[in-house]
Amino acid sequence: MNCRDFEMNVRALVRTELLDGAQRDLLLGHAKTCLQCTDRLAAEQGLVNGVGAVVAELSEQKASAHVRSALLTAFREQTSTMADNRVIPMPLKVVRHWRLEAAAAAILILVSIAAVLWIYSRSPTEKQVALTAPSLPVTAETPSAPAVGNNVIPEPATANHSRSRHRAARRNSMTNEEVTEFYPLMDGVDLDSLEAVQAVRVELPASALNDLGLQTDRGTPTGPIKADVLLGQDGFARAIRFVR
Amino acid sequence: MTPTTLSDAELLRLMVAGDESAFAALYDEHQGAVYRFALLMSGTANIAEEVTQEVFLFLVRESHRYDPGRGSLPNYLYGVARNYVLRSFKRERPYVPLLEDMEETQEISSTRFLAAEDPLDDYSRNEVIKLVRRAVLTLPERYREVVVLCDFQELSCAEAAAALDCPIGTINSRLHRGHAMLVKKLRSVAKVDAKSLDSQALRCFA
């Protein structure tokens, strides 16, 4: 037994832990012969006694009653909060559905607005197209190609099903119009030889008739006069007819 | 079956379900240990009460964090209490005067220290208690918590390891080191003659 062994076992010696009689006697015998280990044993013994005294002193120490009451109050509040939270999932679910529906409605509204804007943004062009509805390219495979002299403006070859109702009404009104035959605007132009022409509805001042070399009388309106101008692929006007 | 006859796990389950009596039973069962741990760690009754309240509030609000597989409920509460105590140290440190060094108490005679052996001498016993508690408070926190749990709260090293969430080897070494530091502090005031020591030892192991 040396001081190191004593140090390793002094705690167990004082606390009577896991030591048999022979080992205890060895440790106590060493303590009697070693002043340093005697002091060490005394200090350890004093520590154990002191700890025991503190434990005994504090054994009945507890938190005061107001801590308990405060905790019980907090527990009740927590319980009530939890009870409220248990009810929350249902409304949350409803809110989540409501949000989905609102999002869907918003998307629908946006799409509708975009569609309306698209339609109105196309209106001037379409108006022109509608006015020039018979002005679609006249191709060989188009049986209703606008022959010069036809009194009826042919239906467009490619009807757009999405066109609005007022365009259809306008088309109907156009079919009731009286038109003259096409007058060539350029000498020597054979209108039948044109592969593709485009008719553009225009409004001309009545004085323009005179410029074209047409005779006007008093019965000729002084306001704008409607006319369809046939344009060739090069964009030059080839012929004109008047509409009443 | 009354709540007091139920196990901690059953009481905890009832508490989570909203049973106030179960919570009260848990509190009554464990608040003393938590309070004493906090008191020995901090040396202040106010902090001990505050920590006790915080620990059980934490249990109410974060009861799902307790994993029975990792240790008993008391050990878990010790661990929570330790965290709150250390937090209070950080908060209070700038305002709490440093503890007087143990050397200042050297005028306390060894006979007064050893008078703790005499259960009739209350005054001396109170001095001993005061001396030991002050010595414990001078320990660094990592040693203090182990000494408090193993010596004063009488937890085994394994239980302390579970409470403090560190290996048993660490607990053993810290406990050994903590004892050595405590003994060193107390040795200065506990000059014992070998003769009385022998009689104490014999009486102790008789």
ipTM greater than cut 0.90: no
Q: Which residues of B touch A36 (CB under 8 A)?
A: none
Indicate if the pLDDT at residue B104 is higher than 60: no
Residue B27 confidence (pLDDT): 93
Domain ranges, ordered by start, for chain A: 3-60, 66-119, 132-243
Give the residue with greater pLDDT, A54 vs B96: A54
Indicate if the pLDDT at residue B52 is higher than 90: yes
**What are the tens digits of pLDDT across the range A82-92?**
766 655 444 44
Q: Which residues of A touch B22 (CB under 8 A)?
A: none
Per residue in B42-68, is it b (16+ CB within 10 Å) or e — as a string? bbbeebbbbbbbbbbbbbbeeeeebee
Place of tokens 């002094």: A10
Q: Determine, for residues A72 and B20 on separate chains, whether the beta-carbon distance falls below 8 Å.
A: yes
Give the residue with greater pLDDT, A132 vs B120: A132
Positive or negative, the CA dihedral A62, B153, B127, B94 is negative
pLDDT band, very low/low/confident/very high, at B108 (cuts 50, 70, 90): very low
Q: Which residues of B touch A76 (CB under 8 A)?
A: 20
Give the residue with greater pLDDT, B77 vs B193: B77
Indicate if the pLDDT at residue B20 is higher than 50: yes
Distance set, CA A124 to CA A134, A155, A160, A228 (Å): 17, 20, 16, 17
Residue A13 confidence (pLDDT): 82
Q: Shortest CB distance from B116 goes to which of A53, A67, A76?
A: A53
Contacts with A, B 114-153, CB within 8 Å: 114, 116-117, 125, 128-129, 131-133, 135, 151-152
Q: Determine, for residues A72 and B131 on separate chains, whether the beta-carbon distance falls below 8 Å.
A: no
Helix %, strand %, coil % for chain B, to 5? 75, 0, 25
Domains present along chain B, CATH in parentheses: 1-96 (1.10.1740.10), 99-200 (1.10.10.10)
Contacts with A, B 23-52, CB within 8 Å: 23-24, 27-28, 31-32, 34-36, 39-40, 48-49, 52
Alpha-carbon distance A74 to A84, whole Å?
15
Q: Which of A66, A80, A76, A61 is nearest to B21 (CA)?
A: A76
Residue A87 confidence (pLDDT): 52
Q: How far is residue B3 CA from its own chain's centroid?
A: 27
CA dihedral B188, B194, B199, B203 (to 10 degrees): 50
**What are the tens digits of pLDDT across the range B33-43?**
999 999 999 99
Q: Shortest CB distance from A53 goes to which of B20, B40, B125?
A: B125
Indicate if the pLDDT at residue B117 is higher than 70: no
The answer to whether the beta carbons of residues B163 and B171 sit under 8 Å apart is: no
Helix H or strand E encompassing A228: strand A225-231
Q: Shortest CB distance from B183 goes to which of A31, A44, A79?
A: A44
Region B65-78 average pLDDT: 88
Residue B146 confidence (pLDDT): 94
Q: Which residues of B touch A67 (CB under 8 A)?
A: 31, 49, 52-53
Search chain B and give the residue with CA nearest A52: B152
Candidates B15, B58, B59, B60, partner chain A, best to mutate (most A CBs within 10 A) = B60
pLDDT band, very low/low/confident/very high, at B62 (cuts 50, 70, 90): confident
Indicate if the pLDDT at residue B17 is higher than 90: no
pLDDT band, very low/low/confident/very high, at B170 (cuts 50, 70, 90): very high
Residue A77 confidence (pLDDT): 85
pLDDT band, very low/low/confident/very high, at B174 (cuts 50, 70, 90): very high
Region B64-77 average pLDDT: 87
Q: Which residues of B touch A72 (CB under 8 A)?
A: 20, 23-24
Q: Is B65 on the interface with A (CB under 8 A)?
A: no
Q: Shortest CB distance from A55 goes to which of B152, B176, B200?
A: B152
